[in-house]
Chain A
Amino acid sequence: MITAENVTKWFGPLLAVDDVSFQVERGEVLGFLGPNGAGKSTTMRVITGFIPASGGTVKVGGFDIDDDPLEAKALIGYLPENAPAYPEMTVEGFLKFAAELRGLRGVARAEAVERAIRTCFLERVRHQMVDTLSKGYLHRTCFAQAILHDPPVLILDEPTDGLDPNQKYEMRELIKEMGKEKAIIVSTHILEEVEAICTRVIIVDRGKLVFNGTPGELKSKSRTAGNLRVRVLGVPTQDVVARLRQADGVKGVDVLDETAGVLCRLAGKPDPSLIAQVVVGAGWKLGELAVETGRLDDVFREITISDTVAEVAQ
């Protein structure tokens, strides 16, 4: 549905997006990750046709965003960052206006507005002015505007920003549900969100695409992925550490917890069945044995260089 090829964007001398290419099909929820200022919002603005690219092409449903902007834009629902809306309008008035611009008239318009109000739980504030809305309601109002015309493509720039935990949960469930038949791009810097809703992840750093794969693949790149956590009960800590350190494949032993037995992390991706044999063979009681799947924030930190590190390097 969405094809971005070699998209490049210069702001004067500043390269904001550097040769980024990717595709999103129906049924996919693509997580767009990156540190602040990495070019996430800029890339989304290029895809939605708000700003022209300096190079490369973007196609939405086969329509080029530069050559056939109206046809391409008609397929997109867009929630911009900070959820803008006209402050002096009521929620319902704003949605009616947006529906009209989407070409919906009469009964079709009324039905679309009702559906969006129901889907986004806006019933309580439908006659309220936009500038009196709380941040959560404002966000949902702008989201409602994006789904009015039931678009096959949804582009959401930080959809859960500023929502409380319950609203975040609802928003994620909504995105997951819609992701079954739509092509969705979600930008975020909340990593738990990626695990919760995305079928694929892209990471951009300083305008460059540095990762494109599933959340599972991303996690497996973690340095801690494949490490074992093992808990041994009723044995002194130093004995456990000394024995495990000598086991095959173990490159290091960290003691994580000593309150209920000894919890250790074994680095170097040792074979779990071997470690189980070692523990049981020594006549100890095995309390827990788990393979670590890796942590997204570890990988994120490894793949993207933080600003402070980059400044020191310069």
Chain B
Amino acid sequence: MRSCRNTWTLTKRELASYFASPVAYVFIIIFLLLSGSFTFMLGQFFPRGESSLAPFLMWHPWLYLFLVPAAGMRLWAEERRSGTFELLFTMPISPTQAILGKFLAGWLFLGIALLLTTPIVGTVEYLGAPDWGVMRCGYLGSFLTAGTFLAITSMTSAMTRNQVISFIVSVVICLLLILAGWPPITNLILEWAPWNWLVEAASGFSVMTHFDNLQRGLIDVRDLLYFASVMVFALFGTGVILKSRRSA
């Protein structure tokens, strides 16, 4: 009970600090502008003639690739640069509570940005008769992808005081997670080594494979497990890195 309250205290503070700086508003505006323009221009929302969110949601992993590291790079880097890291870790809270609290704040923030895109749902509903289950599933997939990228950014942010380094490293890792299951890349692997199991193993690591399943409206435990395990792994990694940063 006490531990939940500590985590929530940290989450509240961190979430408030997002909105105390212009970063939050810049992030939200850019996210809405890009996701909107991608949907209607690149995604060919109208010519498709489908009442689905596919042309909208399909771009999310690519948007998150840059936007989530930008939103999360300060998580620990800033804390270490300003010295409040020392304050936090001499309070009677456990490292798990601290890591989880800060991560949840970032995730909630991304969730708020995602919720602000719901007018597109209204548009689809107005124009046709969409499948609500598929749309809910698509949003869930988008939210889980954001959380996965954020957990990775949390880890890279713990590695350094420098936010730029944290940003670049997390973009690279997230890019690998996207590309591993992208058809041009999987075809390249197939040409180089014509074994299906290799391609399957590679695309099993990819966010895209699991994101696509959810976009199609399939809720598979394996997909949920994938997102959960990458998040847990990255947050555990954050803990290990923070511990080693404190002792050296």
A interface with B by C-beta (< 8 Å): 11-12, 45, 48-52, 69-71, 73-74, 76, 78, 80, 82, 84-89, 93, 97-98, 100-103, 142, 145
Contact = CB atoms under 8 A, between A and B. Distances in A.
Contact of A89 (B13, B89, B90, B91): B13
A142 B91 CA distance: 13
Given A50-B86, A102-B92, 9 more contacts: A45-B86, A69-B94, A73-B91, A80-B90, A82-B83, A86-B17, A86-B82, A89-B17, A100-B5
A101 B10 CA distance: 8
A76 B16 CA distance: 27
Contact of B92 (A50, A80, A103): A103
Contact of A84 (B6, B17, B86): B86
- Among B84, B86, B90, the one with the most A-chain Cβ atoms within 10 Å of its Cβ is B90
- A-B pairs, top 5 by smallest CB distance, nearest first, are A84-B83, A88-B20, A74-B92, A73-B92, A100-B9
A86 B13 contact: yes
A73 B84 CA distance: 16
Contacts of A50: 86, 89-90, 246
Contact of B91 (A12, A71, A102): A102
Contact of A73 (B5, B6, B16, B90): B90
Interface residues on B, range: 20 to 34
A101 B84 contact: no
B82 A84 contact: yes
28 contacts: A11-B248, A12-B248, A45-B86, A50-B86, A50-B90, A51-B247, A52-B246, A69-B94, A71-B92, A73-B90, A78-B87, A80-B87, A84-B82, A84-B84, A84-B87, A85-B84, A86-B82, A86-B84, A89-B17, A97-B9, A100-B5, A101-B6, A101-B10, A101-B91, A101-B92, A101-B93, A102-B91, A103-B92
Nearest to B10: A101
B118 interface: no
B87 A145 contact: yes
Contacts of A48: 90
B166 to A, nearest CB: 19
Nearest to A82: B83
Contacts of A102: 91-92
B2 interface: yes
B85 to A, nearest CB: 8
Contacts of A97: 9, 13
B13 A76 contact: no
A2 B16 CA distance: 37
A261 to B, nearest CB: 55
B53 to A, nearest CB: 35
B17 A49 contact: no
B248 A76 contact: no
Contacts of A145: 87
Nearest to A74: B92
A17 to B, nearest CB: 13
B110 to A, nearest CB: 19
Contact of A80 (B6, B10, B86, B247): B86
B21 A88 contact: yes
Given A51-B246, A100-B9, A101-B6, A87 B92 contact: no
Contact of A101 (B9, B21, B86): B9
A98 B82 CA distance: 16
Contacts of A87: 82
Contacts of A80: 83, 86-87, 90
Contacts of B89: 49-50
Contacts of B82: 84, 86-87
A69 B98 CA distance: 14
A49 B2 CA distance: 20
Contacts of A89: 13, 16-17, 20
A221 B2 CA distance: 51
B17 A103 contact: no
Contact of B94 (A45, A70, A74): A70
Contacts of B9: 97, 100-101
Contacts of A85: 84, 87
Contact of B17 (A52, A73, A88): A88
B223 to A, nearest CB: 36
A137 B6 CA distance: 27
Given A89-B13, A97-B13, A100-B9, A52 B84 contact: no
Contacts of A93: 16
Interface string B72-102: 0000000000111111011111100000000
